[in-house]
Structure 1
Amino acid sequence: MDIFYYLKSCDTCRRIQKTLDLPDSVSLINIKENPLSSEQLAALFLKTNSYAALFNSRAQLLRKRGLKASALSEENMRDLLLEHYSFLKRPVLIYQDELFIGNAPATIAAAEKVLHE
């Protein structure tokens, strides 16, 4: 299943969604309204073998809690990812079994290439 996890209120996510011109086959999931389930997170983990790859180390909530991403274990990251949507690095695109995480220009370019081959 092709999925685009994003935050509707995030300008960067909206810009990337527009840039990618996602096909209708891609399900759009606003993570604020539909937080990740443990099953969805497990499926993402199978593709990355790392919660750190999915973790937003710049989340404001992380700073508010006085935490540093570098000090967190994989298990801590997993728990935080399930606890609050803002800990997911976004956007996340799963398309034809490929995974694209975050908003780095190289990531977006790679996603565009796969989407429009």
Structure 2
Amino acid sequence: MTNKIYYLSTCSTCQRIMKELGIDETFNQQDIKTENINEADLKTFAKQAGSYEALFSKRAMKYKSMGLKEKNLSEEDYKQLMLDEYTFLKRPFILIDGEAFVGNSKKIVEAAKIKLNK
């Protein structure tokens, strides 16, 4: 199974995490700014994370500017927003041997590091 990371090349946090995990050319790398995640991959991550909302970044500037904070969003809304606009994806998304790691919390990065070192 191919290991893959969805990241944002302009994001210093993504760069730091990639360096910390030792992600190199053996990893399939996808810059979501130039090629957003596809629906099938997003569905896979949502299944593992338990929901589309779990993958959604409420820190994105557009979240407030579009007035989404005041709306009651459904799972379908979260999914469509992420497919339409890469900034709504929590990043990075990392797939290691079929296991998904989403976001940049210390706990997530540590878990990905452990999985990579097995």
Give TM-score, length-normalised by structure 2. Answer: 0.91
The equivalent residue for 1:2 is 3
Matched, 1:73 2:82: no
The equivalent residue for 2:22 is 21
The equivalent residue for 1:102 is 103
CA deviation after TM superposition for structure 1 residue 116, in Å: 1.4
2:10 is paired with a residue whose SS is coil
Matched, 1:113 2:114: yes
RMSD: 1.6
Gapped regions of structure 1 (runs ≥ 5): none
The equivalent residue for 2:35 is 34
1:68 is paired with a residue whose SS is helix
CA distance in 2, matches of 1:27, 1:88: 18
Equivalent pair of 2:6/2:37 in contact (CA under 8 Å)? no
Residue identity in the other structure for 1:45 = A
Gapped regions of structure 2 (runs ≥ 5): none
Equivalent pair of 1:22/1:115 in contact (CA under 8 Å)? no
Runs of 4+ that moved beyond 4 A: none
CA distance in 2, matches of 1:45, 1:69: 23
Percent of matched pairs sharing the same residue: 36
Residue identity in the other structure for 2:53 = A
* Range with greater deviation from structure 2 (63-72 or 16-25): 63-72
CA deviation after TM superposition for structure 1 residue 44, in Å: 1.8
* Range with greater deviation from structure 2 (69-78 or 27-36): 69-78
Q: How does 1:44-63 map to 2 (within 5 A)?
A: 44-63=45-64
Per-residue deviation, residues 43-65 of structure 1 (Å, max 9, x unmatched) = 22232231011111111111110
Give TM-score, length-normalised by structure 1. Answer: 0.92
Equivalent pair of 1:91/1:102 in contact (CA under 8 Å)? yes
Q: Figure out how many residues of one structure are paired with residues of the other and give that number.
A: 117
CA distance in 2, matches of 1:110, 1:44: 16
